[in-house]
C-alpha cells in the first residue's frame, strides 16, 4: 500500500506527483545535509488539481501532501516518498499531521477573513522541518476578495510552503491565481476501477460494488455512499421512477415538490447529525452551564454559528437536489443510448424496462430536449432561481411531447 492507492484510474497524475515528491525530498535532504541543492526540480509551490466531480481531486492533493511528509527510511535506498506506512504519511492521511492543513468548506463561499487566517498559517515554518502543506478543496468557492488575498500568498510563498488547490475546472479559478499554479487534470475513473476500489478498500460485496459504480458512472464518493447507505438507494430509486410520473400537469407538480422535499430532508438529516453537537460544544467552550443562560457578551459568537449552520443547510439542500438532477440526466442519457443504438454501457440497468419503453415511445430529439431541460434547471438553480419554480418548469418540460 502507498499513498497513491486511493487515486483511482489516474496513472499519469500519480506519476507526475511522484516525481515532484521525489525532487521535493531531494531538496529537503540537500538543505538538511548542507549538500548542494539540485538544479532542476519538478517541485513547485502552487498546484491546481481540476477534474469532474468524483474524479478524486482532493484525494490526489492529500496523497501528494502525504508524500511530501514521507520520512520512510526506504527513501535513502532509492524508494519513492509516499510509502503510506511511516509516521509522516500516516498522520497526513488521517488528518493529524501538524504541517498539513486540509480546508474543506460546507459553505457556499470562502471569505476574506478565513483566507487571511490561512495565509497567516502558510507563512509558518513547518514544525516537522519538511513542508507546510495547505490543501484548499474548494478553490472555486473563494470570493473575489478572498482570491486576491490568496494571490499574494501564492505569488510570494514562504520557502517551504506548498499550496494545493482543487476546483472542478480551470475556469472556476481566478486567472491570476491559476497562472501561478502547476495544473494537473484528473479524469473520470473507469467504472471497473471504481468497483475494484470499493471491494478492496471498503470491503463491499463485488456485485453491490459493481452496481453502485455503474449507477454513479465513475464517481467514487457517490458510489460508496450508494453501496453503504440504504437512504441514498431509496432516494435514487425514487428519482429513477420520475420519468413515468410526469404524464400530466398534476403529476409534474407533485414530482417537483417531492424532489424539493427530499433535498430538504437530506439537509435536515445532516443538520440533526452535526448542528446540535456543534452548538453544544460551542456553548460549553463559552462556559455556559448545561441548559443554563449564556454568559454575557457571547451572543455574537452564537449568532455567527447559527448563520454558518443556516448557510450549510442551504448548501446541503442544493447539493442534494443537484445530485438528483444528475441522476435524472443519466436516465435520459440511457434512453438516448438505446434510441441511437450506441454501444455505450447503460448506467441504470435496474430500470431497463422503463428505459426501453421510453426509448420506443419517444424520439431522440425529444430525449435531447429533456436532457437540455434538466441542464437548464441546474443552471437556474445555480443562479439562485427559487428552487421549486425551476424544478416545476423542468418537470413540465419533461412531460411535453
Ligand atoms: Zn511514508
DSSP state of 80: P
Whole-model pTM? 0.73
Centre of ligand 1 from the C-alpha of residue 359, in Å: 52
Centre of ligand 1 from the C-alpha of residue 1, in Å: 10
Centre of ligand 1 from the C-alpha of residue 56, in Å: 20
Centre of ligand 1 from the C-alpha of residue 35, in Å: 23
Angle, helices 299-340 vs 249-285, to 10°: value is: 150
Each of the 401 residues of the chain gets a pLDDT tens digit; together they read 789 988 888 989 999 999 999 999 999 988 888 888 777 788 999 999 999 878 889 999 999 999 999 999 887 677 789 999 999 999 999 899 999 999 887 777 889 999 999 999 898 899 988 999 999 999 999 999 999 999 999 998 888 999 999 998 999 899 999 999 999 999 988 899 999 989 998 899 999 999 899 888 888 888 988 899 888 888 889 999 999 999 999 999 999 999 999 888 888 877 777 788 888 888 888 887 766 777 778 888 888 888 888 887 887 888 889 889 999 999 999 999 999 998 888 989 889 999 999 999 999 999 999 999 999 999 999 888 999 999 999 999 999 65
Centre of ligand 1 from the C-alpha of residue 200, in Å: 21
Instruction: Kindly list the protein residues that place their beta carbon closer than 5 angstroms to ligand 1, a single-atom ion.
Output: 70, 72, 83, 86, 89
Output the CA angle 17-51-219, nearest 5 degrees: 105
**Residues 6+ positions from 166 with CB-CB distance below 8 Å:** 48, 49, 50, 57, 58, 61, 135, 136, 137, 138, 139
Centre of ligand 1 from the C-alpha of residue 160, in Å: 18
Neighbours of 200 (CB within 10 A): 11
Classify domain 11-185 at the CATH class level. alpha beta
Residue spans of the domains in the chain: they are 11-185, 244-400
d(CA 106, CA 110): 10
Centre of ligand 1 from the C-alpha of residue 80, in Å: 9
Helix/strand/coil for 180: coil
Centre of ligand 1 from the C-alpha of residue 125, in Å: 20
Amino acid at each position: 500500500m502507498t499513498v497513491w492507492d486511493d487515486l483511482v484510474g489516474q496513472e499519469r497524475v500519480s506519476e507526475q506527483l511522484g516525481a515532484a515528491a521525489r525532487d521535493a525530498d531531494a531538496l529537503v535532504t540537500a538543505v538538511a545535509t548542507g549538500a548542494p541543492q539540485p538544479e532542476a526540480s519538478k517541485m513547485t509551490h502552487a498546484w491546481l488539481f481540476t477534474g469532474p466531480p468524483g474524479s478524486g481531486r482532493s484525494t490526489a492533493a492529500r496523497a501528494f501532501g502525504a508524500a511530501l511528509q514521507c520520512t520512510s527510511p526506504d527513501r535513502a535506498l532509492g524508494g519513492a516518498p509516499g510509502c503510506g506506512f511511516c509516521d509522516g504519511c500516516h498522520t497526513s492521511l488521517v488528518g493529524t499531521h501538524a504541517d498539513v492543513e486540509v480546508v474543506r468548506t460546507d459553505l457556499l463561499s470562502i471569505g476574506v477573513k478565513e483566507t487571511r487566517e490561512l495565509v497567516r498559517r502558510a507563512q509558518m515554518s513547518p514544525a516537522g522541518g519538511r513542508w507546510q502543506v495547505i490543501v484548499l478543496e474548494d478553490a472555486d468557492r473563494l470570493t473575489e476578495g478572498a482570491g486576491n488575498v490568496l494571490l499574494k500568498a501564492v505569488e510570494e510563498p514562504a520557502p517551504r510552503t506548498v499550496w494545493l488547490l482543487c476546483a472542478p475546472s480551470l475556469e472556476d479559478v481566478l486567472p491570476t491565481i491559476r497562472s501561478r499554479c502547476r495544473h494537473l487534470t484528473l479524469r473520470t475513473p473507469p467504472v471497473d476501477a471504481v468497483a475494484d476500489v470499493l471491494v478492496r478498500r471498503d470491503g463491499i460485496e463485488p456485485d453491490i460494488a459493481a452496481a453502485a459504480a455503474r449507477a454513479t458512472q465513475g464517481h467514487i464518493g457517490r458510489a460508496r455512499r450508494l453501496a453503504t447507505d440504504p437512504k441514498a438507494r431509496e432516494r435514487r430509486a425514487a428519482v429513477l421512477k420520475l420519468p413515468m410520473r410526469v404524464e400530466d400537469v398534476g403529476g409534474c407538480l407533485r414530482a417537483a415538490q417531492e424532489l424539493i422535499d427530499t433535498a430538504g430532508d437530506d439537509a435536515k438529516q445532516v443538520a440533526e447529525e452535526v448542528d446540535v453537537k456543534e452548538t453544544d460544544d460551542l456553548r460549553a467552550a463559552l462556559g455556559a452551564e448545561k441548559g443554563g443562560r449564556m454568559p454575557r457578551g457571547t451572543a455574537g459568537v452564537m449568532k455567527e454559528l447559527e448563520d454558518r449552520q443556516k448557510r450549510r443547510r442551504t448548501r446541503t439542500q442544493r447539493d442534494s437536489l443537484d445530485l438528483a438532477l444528475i441522476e435524472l440526466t443519466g436516465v435520459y442519457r440511457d434512453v438516448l443510448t438505446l434510441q441511437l443504438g450506441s454501444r455505450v454501457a447503460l448506467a441504470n440497468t435496474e430500470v431497463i424496462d422503463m428505459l426501453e419503453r421510453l426509448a420506443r415511445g419517444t424520439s431522440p430529439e425529444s430525449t435531447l430536449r429533456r436532457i437540455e431541460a434538466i441542464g437548464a434547471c441546474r443552471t437556474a438553480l445555480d443562479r439562485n432561481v427559487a428552487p421549486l419554480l425551476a424544478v416545476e418548469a423542468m418537470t413540465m418540460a419533461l412531460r411535453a411531447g
